[in-house]
Amino acid sequence: TVEPGLVLDHLNARLKPHGLWFPVDVSTSAQATLGGMAGNNSCGSRSIAYGNMVHNVLAIDAVTAAGHRWRFGPMQDASGPPGYVELVRKLGALFEREKDEIAARFPKVLRRVAGYNLDHLGPPHANAAHLLVGSEGTLAYFERLLLRLSPLPPARALGVCHFPKFYTAMELTQHIVKLGPSAVELVDRTMIGLARDIGAFRKTVEAVIQGEPDAILLVEFSGEDAAAQAAKLGELAQLLGDLGL
């Protein structure tokens, strides 16, 4: 469990000696607090592999508007104060009543962070804490978070894919994700240009960017075996090469 004011980079610095990390790796990790990330249902560049904040929060100790201190967590066989147990019963009944409407109207996309996570009140999640994630402080005040940690992958490989047109990069992402990457991040020419103007980034940009692409995709593969990640990188190169890129 962590306090909501803990900054993500500070948490991961503590976890690294143990071979662990919290994988919701937002770009503002040097400033982002875990409570703020839970309030916003943050995603991070590796959400394709690890999910959003809502998929990595197991429970939340929170204070309700009425002043009750409850641990929100798994709804099956919920225990605790009678008021919390009754709330969980009502949340379960709400999901059962509206599950067809939820299935019909909630977008089937990973990075869905708008609105309340009503779909997480039923299987396979059925977790009351997931209703609080993304609620932006409108439902309860967070005091502590119980997080799901992940092992640090010992092997990583990165492909920097160059595209002459922005929309080509967008179109080919659907084929790249079939290779099983841990991250696919789009960077357009505006961001590349801005990075070139920043001294801390200029050397890296010049080392990896060839010519003047309209966009690049940063495609990462990670796992236990370095040879397996190198093989995935080869598959990525073959895919782009077949397309003349």
In this predicted model, what pLDDT tens digit does every residue of 52-65 receive, in sequence order?
Answer: 999 999 999 999 99
Shortest CA distance to 221 belongs to which of 54, 53, 44, 48? 48
What pLDDT does 23 receive? 96
Q: Give pLDDT tens digits for 110-163.
A: 888 889 999 999 999 999 999 999 999 999 999 999 999 999 999 999 999 999
Q: Give pLDDT tens digits for 103-125.
A: 999 998 888 888 999 999 999 99
Q: How far apart are CA 31 and CA 23, in angstroms?
A: 16
Q: How far apart are CA 245 and CA 37, in angstroms?
A: 37
Cβ count near 33 (within 10 Å): 18
Helices assigned H by DSSP within the chain: 8-15, 34-40, 47-50, 82-105, 129-132, 166-176, 189-196, 199-208, 226-242
Residue 203 — very low, low, confident or very high, per pLDDT cuts 50/70/90? Answer: very high
Q: Which residue is listed with tokens 């009678």?
A: 82
At residue 243, does pLDDT exceed 90?
Answer: no
Q: How far apart are CA 229 and CA 244, in angstroms?
A: 23
Give percent above pLDDT 90 in the chain.
94
Q: Which residues contact 113 (CB under 8 A, 6 or more apart)?
A: 40, 41, 42, 43, 52, 134
Whole-prediction pTM: 0.89
Shortest CA distance to 128 belongs to which of 60, 80, 66? 60
Tokens standing for residue 145: 């978070």
Q: Are 26 and 107 in contact (CB under 8 A)?
A: no
Residue 215 — very low, low, confident or very high, per pLDDT cuts 50/70/90? Answer: very high
What pLDDT does 110 receive? 82
